[in-house]
Amino acid sequence: MEITGKCQLTCSHCYAESGPSGTHGAMTSTDWLRVLDQAAGIGVEMVQFIGGEPTLHPDLPRLVAHALHHGLAVEVFTNLVHVTDQLWETFARPGVSLATSYYSDDPAQHVAVTGRPSHPRTKANIAEAIRRGIPLRAGVIDLGGGQRAEAAQAELAELGVTEIGYDRLRQVGRGIRDQQASTEQLCGRCGDGVAAISPDGAVWPCVFSRWLPAGSVLDAELAAILASAEADRIRGELATAFAAHTDRPRSARPCYPDCNPACQPNCAPRCSPTCNPTSCKPNSCWPQYRGR
């Protein structure tokens, strides 16, 4: 659930093109609560709150509590730039986990990506989450140009992070360099058992497939959208595109397209050898997991 387009940062590769001028969109908190009810009603087991920066949404604690009330596992994908005491209490609730992105052990490289001097705060809050015993995974996105991505992984490990993902640039949103957004940029069997909802209510197969809306939860119930002819057409289009890459060795590419740290939860097999065996569950299964 992409609950906001607002973010303190202006990351150069942001698929959502989020930033300080972003908004919470047309979806009200009441709308999000209603969609959570609908998601639970159709058997959804896990929800991820993302943005933008979800901690900037004033009702994030309420939304998390409502999801937990329905028995949903919750992940908050956050830049960890600023965490209030209330949010730490929310994050510490059973059933809640965190995810974040990290770019370099060099603060100058980190700011070159995020557009703000965010490295010290993000690093400190990663350490604080670990200290508090809050489950946290981190993803390193390598944008090239001499970025110290491997050193970033090592620094995360030193901080106590045990689930560390790794990925390349996805050319979607501000990440577009020399290609247009297409199925080549998607990951993790996008649309297979997963859906994303935008701040304006659009339903996509996943957060990267923003040009493939199946409908809007402001106009119809989630179940009806996911069972619609348009959703079937989109899933068929994606399945055809992904099948074109079945010649790639399974051992080298457990699922195609490969998974971005922010792209969950669907990789096949759901719990493959590339998954951390201590937490092998749908929302932590990364084909590009790199052990230490």
- C-alpha 155/C-alpha 166 separation (Å) is 14
- C-alpha 187/C-alpha 258 separation (Å) is 5
The C-alpha R_g of the chain, in whole angstroms, comes to 18
Residue 90: pLDDT above 50?
yes
Q: Which of 9-23, 197-211, 220-234 has the lowest mean pLDDT?
A: 9-23
Half-sphere exposure of 10 (CA within 13 A, CB side): 6
Predicted confidence (pLDDT) per residue in 70-86, tens digit: 999 999 999 999 999 99
Tell me the pLDDT band of 187, cut-offs 50, 70 and 90: low
Cβ atoms of 102 and 151 closer than 8 Å: no
Predicted confidence (pLDDT) per residue in 5-34, tens digit: 999 998 876 776 778 888 999 999 999 999
Q: Which of 9-13, 14-18, 113-117, 122-126 has the lowest mean pLDDT?
A: 14-18
Q: Mean pLDDT score of the chain, rounded to an integer?
A: 80
Tell me the pLDDT band of 173, cut-offs 50, 70 and 90: low
Residue 61: pLDDT above 50?
yes
Backbone angles phi, psi at 91, to 5 degrees: -65, -25
Name the fold adopted by 29-284. TIM Barrel (3.20.20)
Between 257 and 77, where is the model more confident?
A: 77
Q: How do the domains of the chain map onto residue ranges?
A: 29-284
What is the biggest distance separating any 2 CA atoms in the chain, rounded to whole angstroms?
A: 50
